Structure 1
Amino acid sequence: MRGTFLNRLVLAMVLAMAFTMAASAKAPMTTVAKPIDSNPNNAPNDAADPRAYLNEIDGEKAMVWVKAHNQSTVNKLSKDPRYGEYQADILKILQATDRIVRPGFAHGSTIDNFWQDGTHVQGLWRRTSWEAYRSGSPQWRVILDVEALSKLEDKTWVLRSENCLPPVDNLCLLSLSDGGKDADVVREFDIARGQFVKEGFVLPEGKQSATWVDENTIYVTREWTPGEVTDSGYGYVTKVLKRGQSLDQAVEIFRGDKKDVSSRRSVMRDIDGKYVMDISYRDLDSFNTELAFYPNGHTDNRKVVLPFPTTAALSGYYKGQAIYNLKSDWASANGTVFHNGALIAFDLRAALADPAHVEPLVLFMPNDHQSVQGITQTKNHLVLSIQSNVSSEVRSFDFGKNGWSSFKLALPENSTLSVTSSDNESDHLFIFSEGFLEPSTLFYADAASGNVEKLKSSPERFDAEDLQVQQFWATSEDGTKVPYFLVARKDIKLDGTNPTILYAYGGFEISMRPTYLATLGKLWLEKGGAYALANIRGGGEFGPKWHEAGLKTHRQRVYDDFQAVAQDLIAKKVTSAPHLGIMGGSNGGLLMGVQLTERPDLWNAAVIQVPLLDMVNFTHMSAGASWQGEYGNPDDPVEGAFLRSISPYHNVRAGVGYPEPFFETSTKDDRVGPAHARKMAALFEDMSLPFYYYENIEGGHAAAANLQERARLYALEYTYMSQKLMDNK
C-alpha cells in the first residue's frame, strides 16, 4: 500500500480502534497522570499517599528521584565488562548497513523506506524506483530528513505516520511526535517539493486524528476546548477544517459521548483512492464499537447502522464488498448463524439500502487452532495472513461471478510470514518470512498469479548452528493445553541449570509469534542461554475465544498459563527457579508484575517493561480508563475485588523473598505512563527490598526513541539477566 513503510491503514480509512498496548493505540490529551487513589497498599483511608509526588510526570521532585535511580542502575550494571561489550554488539546489529532495506510501495512504481543508522539517528524518509530497488544498488531521494528537522527545531522528532491524499499521494499529513509520545503535531507536507506546505494544514500537539476529505478539506478529531475529551483522554468531537481556516473556524459534524473510549468520523475510500462514503466510530470500550455509515457524506447526516454486534470489526472494503471480522456469534434475519472468529463479506450498498436483511457469505472460518492475523488488499485481490498452531500461511482471495475463490501462496512453511506492503496499482506484495533462528527473508509476490520471488535475506547476526527450536504444550490449572516454544542448544543438558528467559504478553488478542531476535541471539543464545515464548490465553494465537478466556475476572487463567509453562520447563529440567528469568512489556509488564508477587519462588530475575502495576487505580492513570473492556472496572464490586487481588502494587508483602526486579519505563510514555513503574519501585525502596530502575527520558511507550537509546536499554537488560541467571551456575 502507498506509505505502508509507516504502517498506514489499508484503503486509507480509519478502521475501528481496538486498543492494543503493543500496537498503535492512543493516549490521554495530557502527559501528566491524574492523581490516583490516596489509599495505596491498604493504607488507612486518611493516610496521605507518600509516593503521590511520582504521579507528576515532569515534577521537579519526581525527576530528581528518577535521575538518581537511573544513575544508580547504570553505575551498578555498567561496571560489569559485559555491559560495554553488549552495547557495542547491539549497536553494530541495529546500525548494520547490510540489513534489509524495508520497502513500501508508494505512488507510481516507486519504493519508500524509513532508514535509521548512526548518522541519521531520528531517520530519513526516502524514495527510489522499483527497478533501482530491485537492482540492489538504489539511489535514494530524501523526502524528509527527520534528524535535520530535529536539530533545526531542537526537538527529538519521531515520524509516527504519514497520511497522503489519494490518488496522487503527494500532499501528506505528517504525524510528528516529540520524543515518541502518543501526542503528536500534524503538518502538511508536499512530497514533490520535499518541504512543508507554506500556510498548509497544521494541528498543534495533541492526541488527535486527521484524515483527508479532498485537497482543501480534512476531518479532525481532537480536544477542541480544554477538557473536551473522554474519561480515557481521547477526543470525541470531529470537525471539518477547510484550508486557510483557523481551528476555531472548524465546523462540528460529529459528536460521540464523553463516556466513550473515543469517537471519530472518517472517510472510506476504494482501492483507487476514490471517495466512497463517510463512516463514524464510537468506541464503547476496548472491544465494542458502534459503527455508522453516512452514504451521502458530511453534507447529509443520514446514517445507517448495520445489525452486527458491536464486537464485529470492519476489516476492509473490496470490490463493493464490506469485510467484517466477527468476534462473537451472530445470526442473520434468515436465521443463519455465523460463528465467533468468522470473516464474512457482503455487498455494502445493498446492505445499507436494506440493513434488516443482510445475508453475508463466509470468506474464512478458522478452526480452534487458527486465527486471522492480517488482511491486506492489492489492486484486484484480498490477501489474508492466517495462523495455524502459531505458524503462518498467506492466501489470496478473489470475488467474481461465481463468488469467492482463493489459493495459498508458495511461501516457506513453519515460519512467521508478514505482509509488509501491498500495491494499490498492481497485485504485488512484499512479504517477510522469519523464525527464531532464520533471519528475515524478503519475498516479492503476485496475488493474482501466485508467483513468488525471493529478493534478499538478512545476514545472520548470531551463530545458530548448534541451536534448535521445539514446540511444547503445558497443562494449565484448569486443564487447558498451552503451547510454548523453546529455543536452546541441541545438546542442552537437562540438569536444571540452563539460564532461561521466559517471555509472554497475554492480552488484547495480540499474538506472540516466532521472530528473528538478533539481540537475544547474540547476547543470550550464543552464550548458552535458553529462551521460551509462551502463547498464553489473552492473546490472539487461537482467535477471539483464546483472548476472551482471559478477560476481566477470568484473568487469573492468563497468569496460571504462564506459571504452567514455567513449571513445565522446570519439570523437564530445562531450568530451575535460580536460573529462570521473566521478561515482558506493557500488558506483558503487568503479567511480569503479577508473577513477581504471586510466585516469587519461581523466578530469579524479572524485567518489567513499561508496565501497568496499580490495577486498583489504573483507570485514573494516563489512558487507563480505555482498558476496562480488557481488565474490568475497579469500581465494580466483583471486578474491583478481583483486580485488587492481582494488583502487583497492592500485593507486595513484608517478609517475602522477592527476586530483585528490573523496572523500566519512559518519561514520555503518555499511554501507560511512568507512574506505575515509579511507584512500584518506590514501594520496594520503602520496604527495603532490592530493585533496579531505569526510566528513559525519551521514547514514549516504546521506551526508546532511537537506536542508541535502544542499545543502552538492551545492554542494561542483558547484563542484569546474565548476572542473575548465568553467574550463579
Structure 2
Amino acid sequence: MVARLALAAALAFAAAPLAAQDTDADDPYIWLEEIKGEKALEQVDRWNADTEALLTVSPEYPIAKAWAKQILDDDRQIAMPTAIQGDRVINLWRDANNPRGLWRTASLASYMSGKPDWRVLIDVDKLGKDEGKSWVWHGADCLAPEYTRCLVSISDGGTDADVVREFDTVTGKFVDGGFTLPEAKSNVAWFDKDTVFVGTDEGASTLTDSGYPRLVKLWKRGSDFASAKMVAEGQQADVSISGLSVLDGETRWRFINRSPSFWTNNYELVKDDGSTIPLPMPADAEFRAVLDGFLIAKLNSPLAIKGGTAGVGSLVAFSLEDVVKGYDVTPFTVFVPSASQAVEEVSASEHKLWIKVLDDVSGKLIELSPANPGWISREMNLPANSTIQIAETSGKGDMAFVTVENMLTPPTLYAVPSEGEPVAIASEPAQFDASKFTVEQKFAISKDGTRVPYYLVRPKGVEGPLPTLIHAYGGFRNAQTPKYLTAEPYRSGPLGLFWLESGNAYVLANIRGGGEYGPRWHEDALRDKRQNSFDDFHAVADDLVANRLATPKRIAASGRSNGGVLVGAVANQRPDLYGAIISGSPLIDMRRYNKLLAGASWMAEYGNPDVAEDWAFMKAWSPYQNMKPGADAPVAFYYLSTLDDRVHPGHARKAAAKHEAFGQTFYYHEYKEGGHSVGADHEEDAKRAALLLTFLNREIGSGKDD
C-alpha cells in the first residue's frame, strides 16, 4: 500500500463502517472535511510523505522535474497581452527569477516591433516578501479610457478569495486612501472614476448559499463603505450577483448581473443615477460583448427575432439604446454556426466583433462588422487544423491578438488587423522533436450512437498497443482543444510530453458535457444525462482497444475538478478497462458537494442531492458512493490544495480514506498553497508533473508486471 498509516490509524480505518452513505451519518470519514483540522492535516501529511518517499526515489523523477522546471521557466516564452489599454500593452511575466510574476506595461508600438520597452508596475514576489504574504496575482480592472487607476486583486496563497487595492499606473504605487477591500470572494468593477460596484462579504446573510456576494452596492471615493448605496439584491439561493461596466466608444454601459443558477442570468442596465432597467435577454443566454450600442448574446435556446427564429448557439444583438428609451426590443442575428461548429470566444475591438469558432474542434477566427440587419462576417487567414485563442483585442483601432498552436507546434502570437493579413509577432521555441510523433483526430461511437471526437498522439512508426493516458473534462461547456504538449493535460504541465517521450500514447477526448459542439453537446450531459459523458469516455477507450492501439488495464484516465467526477465514475464502472486514474482538485462526494464551499453553485450542472428525485440519478454515478473493495480497482493519484476554496479538499481526502480501508493502492499529494489551480508557482507545477509521470510508469507503464 502506498500510503502507509500508523498501525492505530490503519486499524481505525479498517474498523470504520462502509455503509451506502445516503446520509451524513453514514459517512465515517466526514472528519476529513475539517480543512485545517489537526487530525485531518496529520493524515494528509502522512499520505504526502508516503507518496513522496515512494515516487521521488525513482530515477526518472529528478530528470522529469528538472526538465519541467526548465520548460515552465523558459524566458523565451511569449509575453502574452493580458490587456490592451489604449496605446499600451499589459503583461504578467513569470520566470525562474519571478515565480509569482511581474505585472508590467509597454507601448503597443514597441510590442508590435518585437522589442517591448517594459516598465514594471508591480513585482508580485517583492510585494509578498515586503508584506510577509504569499501573494498570487489574480488580475486587475483598469478604468478606461485613461487606464491610470486599476483595481488590483491578489490572493494570499492562491485561494479564490482576494484582497482588492486601488493602484495608480502613473505613480506606480497603491493609492493612499484609495478603494481597498479585505480578503473575500468579492466582485468589484468601476462605475466611474470616483465610484465602484462592490459585492463582498459583509457578514451574516450578505453571501449566497454558494459563498458569493448577495448584494451589490455603489461605493463613493472617500466615504466609509458602511454608507455605500444598495443597487441590487439577490436571493440566498442564487449563485451570485455583481456589477460590471463596458466602454463602447464614448459610451459607458453599466450592468447588474444576478445569477439564480450557474446557467441562468438576469441582466439589468444601470443608469447614471443607479436605477436599473431589465434587459429583454433570455435567462439562459450568455452575455458576450457590447459593440456599437448593441449587447451581443449567445443563445442556448431558440429565440424569436426579426424575421423568424434564431437557433441554439447563434449570436444575436439587442439595441441598448432601445432599452433606455423604453421601446420593445427585438433582437437580430449576427452569426449562425454550422452543425459542426460552436462559438467559443467573443471579443470586441473599437468597431469589430471577433469570434473564435470551433469546427470539429479545430479553431477558426471570424471578424464581424456591424450592419443592419445582420452583420457581415469574414474568416481570417490563419493556419488550419489548429487551436486558436483570442488573447486580447484593441480598444482603439481594430486588431485582435490571437495564439495559434497544435499538439506538435508551439504557440505563435499573431496580430490580426481588420484590414490586411495576420502578422506573426512572437513564437515560443520548440521544446521537443515533433518529428518523432504523429497526431490524428479519430472518432468513437458512444453507447447511444453519438460520434465522439478524440485526438491521439503516438510515437511515429510504432505498431500495436501502447500504455495510454486519456485526458478529458466533460462539463460546464468547457471545450478541450489540442494545445502544445508542454501544456497538456490541464494543470499538469508537460506531463503529456513526458509520457510520450517514454514511448507511450496520449489522448485528448472531446466528450459530451463540454462545449465542443455548442449548447447541445453540453446539455446532453446535464444532470440525469451525466452518464452520457462517462459512456463517451468508455467509448474512446474501447475504440483504442478495438483498434489494437491500447490494452485494457494499461489505460489511465485523467481529469481535474469536474474531471474528478468523470474519472471517479469511469473507474468505478469499468475497472476492467482502466489501470490508473489521475484526479486533480476533484469533485468526488456528490452526496455532500452542495454543502462544501462553492458546491451549491453547481446544482444546475449536476442536480441537487437533497431532492430525492435528483439523488436517485446522482447516486448511480457519484464516485464516492460507488467505490467498492477489491484488488481490481484502478490505482488512483489524487493531487489538490489545502487552500482550494472552490472544490473542497475533503472530496479527495475521503476517497483516499476509503481506498485505505479497502486495502487498495493509491497515491496522494495535497499542496498547502495554490488554491484550485494547486500550484502557486512553477516549482510546484514541475514537481507535480514529475510525480505523475513516475506514478504512470509504475502503474501502467510497459515495464509493469501484469
TM-score by length of 2: 0.93
**Where in structure 2 are the equivalents of 1:464-483 lying within 5 Å?**
464-483=434-453
Partner of 1:503: 471
* Greater alpha carbon shift after TM alignment, 512-521 vs 667-676: 512-521
Question: How many pairs are equivalent?
Answer: 682
* 2:288 counterpart of 1:315: yes
**Alpha-carbon distance between aligned partners in 1 of 2:627 and 2:94, rounded to the nearest angstrom:** 41
Partner of 2:298: 325
**Where in structure 2 are the equivalents of 1:21-170 lying within 5 Å?**
41-43=19-21, 49-170=27-148
Q: How far did 1:690 drift?
A: 1.3
Q: Is the 8 A contact 1:374 1:384 kept in 2?
A: yes
| Cα 1:634–1:524 shift into 2, 3 Å | same
* 2:380 counterpart of 1:409: yes
Partner of 2:313: 341
Q: Which amino acid is the alignment partner of residue 248 of structure 1?
A: A
Q: Is the 8 A contact 2:357 2:364 kept in 1?
A: yes
Q: How far did 1:105 drift?
A: 4.7
* 2:704 counterpart of 1:728: yes
Partner of 1:379: 350
**Alpha-carbon distance between aligned partners in 2 of 1:728 and 1:246, rounded to the nearest angstrom:** 65
* 2:515 counterpart of 1:570: no
Q: Which amino acid is the alignment partner of residue 430 of structure 2?
A: E
Q: Is the 8 A contact 2:231 2:274 kept in 1?
A: no
* Greater alpha carbon shift after TM alignment, 39-48 vs 261-270: 39-48
**Where in structure 2 are the equivalents of 1:573-652 lying within 5 Å?**
573-652=548-627
| Cα 1:654–1:400 shift into 2, 3 Å | closer
Q: Secondary structure at the match of 2:261?
A: coil
Partner of 1:364: 335
Q: How far did 1:266 drift?
A: 3.2
Partner of 1:491: 461
Q: How far did 1:47 drift?
A: 5.0
**Alpha-carbon distance between aligned partners in 2 of 1:458 and 1:391, rounded to the nearest angstrom:** 20
Identity %: 38
Q: Secondary structure at the match of 2:98?
A: coil
* 2:272 counterpart of 1:293: no
Partner of 2:491: none
Partner of 1:433: 404
Q: How far did 1:614 drift?
A: 0.4
| Cα 1:271–1:514 shift into 2, 3 Å | farther
**Alpha-carbon distance between aligned partners in 1 of 2:684 and 2:432, rounded to the nearest angstrom:** 22
Q: Is the 8 A contact 1:461 1:522 kept in 2?
A: no
Partner of 2:13: none
Q: Secondary structure at the match of 2:700?
A: helix
Q: Is the 8 A contact 2:335 2:375 kept in 1?
A: no
* 2:634 counterpart of 1:659: yes
**Alpha-carbon distance between aligned partners in 2 of 1:43 and 1:123, rounded to the nearest angstrom:** 45
Deviations 1:255-302 (A, max 9, x none): 111111112233343145x423x32222111111122223x33x2525
**Alpha-carbon distance between aligned partners in 1 of 2:274 and 2:189, rounded to the nearest angstrom:** 19
Partner of 2:252: 275
Q: How far did 1:211 drift?
A: 0.9
Q: Secondary structure at the match of 1:606?
A: strand
Deviations 1:197-233 (A, max 9, x none): 1111110000111111122211100122234211111
Q: Secondary structure at the match of 1:253?
A: strand
* 2:536 counterpart of 1:561: yes
Deviations 1:157-211 (A, max 9, x none): 1110101111100110000111110000000011111111111111000011111
| Cα 1:331–1:47 shift into 2, 3 Å | closer
1:303 to 274, 277, 280: 277
Q: How far did 1:67 drift?
A: 1.2
Q: Is the 8 A contact 2:354 2:400 kept in 1?
A: no
| Cα 1:421–1:305 shift into 2, 3 Å | closer
Q: Is the 8 A contact 2:187 2:243 kept in 1?
A: no
Q: Is the 8 A contact 1:396 1:408 kept in 2?
A: yes
Q: Secondary structure at the match of 2:337?
A: coil
Q: Which amino acid is the alignment partner of residue 278 of structure 2?
A: V
Q: Is the 8 A contact 2:114 2:425 kept in 1?
A: no
Partner of 1:220: 198
| Cα 1:411–1:281 shift into 2, 3 Å | same
| Cα 1:544–1:74 shift into 2, 3 Å | same
Unmatched 5+ residue regions in structure 2? Answer: 1-15, 487-493
Q: Is the 8 A contact 1:99 1:459 kept in 2?
A: yes
Deviations 1:476-529 (A, max 9, x none): 1111111111011231212x3x11100100001110001002114541222211
Q: Secondary structure at the match of 2:313?
A: coil
Partner of 1:516: 484
Q: How far did 1:368 drift?
A: 2.2
Q: How far did 1:728 drift?
A: 2.1
Deviations 1:656-708 (A, max 9, x none): 52122101110111001111001110111122221100001111111111111
Structure 1 segments of 4+ aligned residues over 6 angstroms from their partners: none
Deviations 1:299-324 (A, max 9, x none): 25252341x43101221111112211
Q: Is the 8 A contact 1:463 1:526 kept in 2?
A: no
1:249 to 210, 227, 250: 227
Deviations 1:593-622 (A, max 9, x none): 111111111111111110100011111011
Q: Which amino acid is the alignment partner of residue 382 of structure 2?
A: L
**Alpha-carbon distance between aligned partners in 1 of 2:457 and 2:359, rounded to the nearest angstrom:** 20
**Where in structure 2 are the equivalents of 1:169-184 lying within 5 Å?**
169-184=147-162
| Cα 1:252–1:676 shift into 2, 3 Å | same
Unmatched 5+ residue regions in structure 1? Answer: 1-37
**Alpha-carbon distance between aligned partners in 1 of 2:274 and 2:205, rounded to the nearest angstrom:** 29
Q: Which amino acid is the alignment partner of residue 348 of structure 1?
A: L
* 2:502 counterpart of 1:527: yes
Q: Secondary structure at the match of 1:200?
A: coil
Q: Which amino acid is the alignment partner of residue 151 of structure 1?
A: K
Tell me how large the CA RMSD over aligned residues is. 1.9
TM-score by length of 1: 0.90
| Cα 1:335–1:439 shift into 2, 3 Å | closer
**Alpha-carbon distance between aligned partners in 1 of 2:333 and 2:457, rounded to the nearest angstrom:** 38
| Cα 1:473–1:46 shift into 2, 3 Å | closer
Q: Is the 8 A contact 2:361 2:516 kept in 1?
A: yes
Q: Is the 8 A contact 2:156 2:162 kept in 1?
A: yes
Partner of 1:3: none
| Cα 1:243–1:553 shift into 2, 3 Å | same
| Cα 1:193–1:649 shift into 2, 3 Å | same
**Alpha-carbon distance between aligned partners in 1 of 2:249 and 2:689, rounded to the nearest angstrom:** 41
2:177 to 185, 199, 214: 199
Partner of 1:24: none
**Alpha-carbon distance between aligned partners in 2 of 1:372 and 1:503, rounded to the nearest angstrom:** 23
Q: Secondary structure at the match of 2:431?
A: coil
